[in-house]
A and B are shown apart, each in its own frame.
Chain A
Amino acid sequence: MDTQITLRVDGADRPLTVDTRTSLLDAMRERLGATSAKKGCDHGQCGACTVLLDGRRVNSCLVLAVTAQGQEVTTSDGLAVDGQPHALHEAFVDHDAYQCGYCTPGQITSAAGVVAEARAGWPSAVTEDLVGDQVDLTDDEIRERMSGNLCRCAAYANIVPAVAEYATEQGVRA
């Protein structure tokens, strides 16, 4: 069944017609021409499709497009402001935190989400202080929290310092 919806992607309202079975990821990639978020598995296993939905990271392949109406969808491309790269964009380039680049937009939106979660005090499996106001994004915290984003080129050891640099700038890393 087709239905008319409006998605707000990277700050722009985008009216479109979708099959009600269409995922947010496919709506962006196949109907809106918004291809920053990538498809690596379509099952929420690889993280390449990670976007921010009202600021929280989600696997967009697991979100039905019709449920994303009225929410702000942000891809890595949308993190850039006025054409200027986001600090995470620069950190990933500086640390060579990628090779083929396919998982990278998902890594970057995920990293943006990680910093927000740490600021909000959300603990992870490796957090010692479960009731703190803010989490200190140590290397181990970054490794744990970024493990939903697979990188087969295996740039992990470069992704950690790239995210750490941004976390430091944002005041969530000692």
Chain B
Amino acid sequence: MTALSDRPTTHAPAVGSDVRRIDGPAKVRGRAPYAYEHELDSSPAFVAIVQSPVARGRVVSIDASAAEALPGVLAVLTHENAPRLGEVVEEIRVLQSATVQYAGEPVAAVVAETSEVARDAIGRVVVRYDSEAPDVVLSVDRDDLYAPEQLMAGFETDSVIGDVDAALAAAPVAVDVTYATPVQHNQPIEMHATVARWDGDVLRMWDANQGPHNLVPVLTSAFGITEDQLHVVSPYVGGAFGSKAFTHVHQLLAGMAARVTGRTVKLELTRQQMSSLVGHRTPTIQRLRLGAEADGTLTAISHEVVEHTSRNAEFAEQTATATRLLYAAPARRTTHRLARLDVPAPTIMRAPGETPGVYALESAMDELAVALGMDPVELRVHNEPARDPERDVPWSSRNLVACLRQGAERFGWAGRDPRPRVREVGRRLVGTGVAASTYPTRRRPSQCRIEAVPGKATVVSIDASDIGTGAWTALTQIAADALGVAMAEVDLRIGDSRLPKASGAGGSTGTTSWGPAIQAAAQALRERVHAEHGGQLPAGGVVVTGSSGPGEEVERFSMHAFGAHFAEVRVDRDTGEVRVPRMTSVFAAGRIVNATTARSQFLGGMTMGLSMALHEESVLDAVHGHFANHDLAEYHVATNADVGEMDISWLDEVDEHVNPLGAKGIGEIGIVGAAAAIGNAYWHATGRRVRDLPITPEAFFRGE
């Protein structure tokens, strides 16, 4: 076994190749089991949820008798009879009191022999409410906006350097513009689903999530069980984008329903229920003020954010944190203020913070370039900071300028006429735009176990999660190289809470967290075999564990991936329809483990950014407080016909500081800035600056 000798491996490295997904053949036939598809032979019962139409109030009475009388109904759970949950955060204390805090909050759950009977029965549960008018409208004029103690991920709420107002007042050229982004929903195509069963005092769940260990502390506390009494299995997950990161009410309802009925239960949220029960991206209102010298040198940056959170949770999205590092300027300020509204709790959605925040900053930079009469690529290059401008530490690596240059070259940016609304092809007005992208490089503590037995595939176990990222494949590649064997000789096990604890999939931290843990375990195996077995794997095999996590690099360096987006937009001057025939994006994201799946990640992010720019908006009904367009017919996501040519490339970036793998994470960088590039191209095409997303056809005919 070459892995354990000092001789160089005879295998070509798997990392860096473009090997196809190892789970692909099963997925294309529909044979990879997602959450709902487990325990097919268990004669399961089915759970359906009764939701409150009231956004603020309390349940006065529940009459479940008609539902209970329906043949096939096993139980109706309400706050009056549901099992009491242990300590869990307010936003998921489901069926524990009569209080209603958002439209769509579960007030009862039916368990029945079939899904048809369960859904029939929920319509027969009669619930009476006392209600008040909900407060759901976000505005900058509210007198109850407040500064949270800190933002998500531990960021400071505000940052202030220098006298920003004086610098803005003194700036020869300045812009003062306000952007708004709407509520958006994650909308993974696999609806959130949980299969649950109690085997004695052990709770088993087959669940759609972004890492089984994410659920462990919540479920053990909620049900008063130990970690040994919980088993969460999630080998395949049908997309997530943040909505499956945290424990939501349906997982608790499934556990309760299984306990009450003693059955295996299946709970699949409906698409409509996902609008209120699994979170959303908070809406933002962002005021950007930029001051510059006539040559384009930024003298002041101010980015003030107002966004919402819910009555039952504080979700403080870190919207302006990218503004703290993207460009140099001596005077700088970022602030975040929240309004607590009668809405469901927001959650993370692909690049929470950076996605709405960089949209606003990069749109404002384009407006500044116009005010300066300067090329927007050159404006960005001109304000490139040598060090992190707020933390005053060096970059681990920063190649934004190279991304801009290479992107401009590939896109054909040179010679661009900066004037708006001067190009037409038939009925269509044509424009081009650019925007930068950035996303933090982080990792989280993770552990891995390796079991090596002569003549068998090496078992590599880690509770990682593949939500479509390609983790099954990328981690097998990393393990193969770390062990010095072919990929076929690696037996990877992920997506199971009984595997060694690892961080969840999210925040572009999967590969950067799990890869180094696998490498550490492989190194431990090598050392053990050398020290205790003379370099020869013993017949009985060896089991080792390894772990890895963030270290001093976090303090010493500012670590981020960067990218540049270029987009062409065509706007029909008769209908206002907006098309994006082509995008070019270039990324600097450290080491790329798998060229094929990485390209798909970038592509998916860019396309979701296009979708954000042109299609996505969840409309909160101001009177009733519910999301009015709560399905895929009315909440529009990009379809195949919305996407044109996508030109994707990346730099061969080597960053030895970020982690032993040298990877920066690629799940989010593709979406950040993409909507700004499209919005900027829309201005270039039409001369109209649309500052509230999405840019729908009617925007073209709106008064300025």
Contact = CB atoms under 8 A, between A and B. Distances in A.
Contacts, number: 191
B contact residues, range: 35 or more
B239 A99 contact: yes
A105 interface: yes
Given A26-B115, A45-B632, A89 B28 contact: yes
Contacts of A42: 270-271
A100 B188 contact: yes
A159 B28 CA distance: 12
Contacts of B190: 38, 40, 100, 102
B600 to A, nearest CB: 5
A7 to B, nearest CB: 16
A153 interface: yes
Contacts of B641: 143-144, 146-147
Interface stretch (A29-37, A115-123, A129-137, A164-172): A29-37
A26 B116 CA distance: 9
Interface string A132-157: 00000000001110110111111111
Contacts of B6: none
A149 B643 CA distance: 13
Contact of A76 (B20, B29, B601, B611): B29
Interface stretch (B404-412, B425-433, B439-447, B463-471): B463-471
B31 interface: yes
B236 interface: yes
B631 A43 contact: yes
A157 B606 CA distance: 11
B597 A36 contact: no
A154 B28 contact: no
A155 B29 contact: no
B413 interface: no
A98 B468 CA distance: 8
Contacts of B41: 33
A19 interface: yes
A100 B637 contact: no
B115 A101 contact: no
B687 interface: no
Interface in A87-114: 88-89, 92-94, 96, 98-105, 108
Interface of A: 19, 21-22, 26, 29-30, 33, 35-43, 45-46, 48, 75-77, 79-80, 85, 88-89, 92-94, 96, 98-105, 108, 142-144, 146-147, 149-160
Interface of B: 20-21, 23-25, 27-34, 36-37, 40-41, 46, 114-117, 120, 187-191, 236-241, 266, 268, 270-271, 467-470, 596-597, 599-601, 603-604, 606-608, 611, 631-633, 637-643, 645-646
28 contacts: A30-B114, A33-B41, A35-B36, A38-B34, A76-B29, A85-B25, A85-B29, A88-B28, A89-B29, A92-B28, A99-B469, A99-B470, A99-B600, A99-B601, A100-B237, A100-B239, A101-B24, A101-B27, A101-B236, A101-B468, A102-B188, A142-B640, A147-B642, A151-B640, A153-B604, A154-B603, A156-B638, A157-B603
- Sorted nearest first, the 5 A-B pairs with minimum C-beta distance are A102-B238, A36-B30, A100-B468, A101-B27, A154-B607
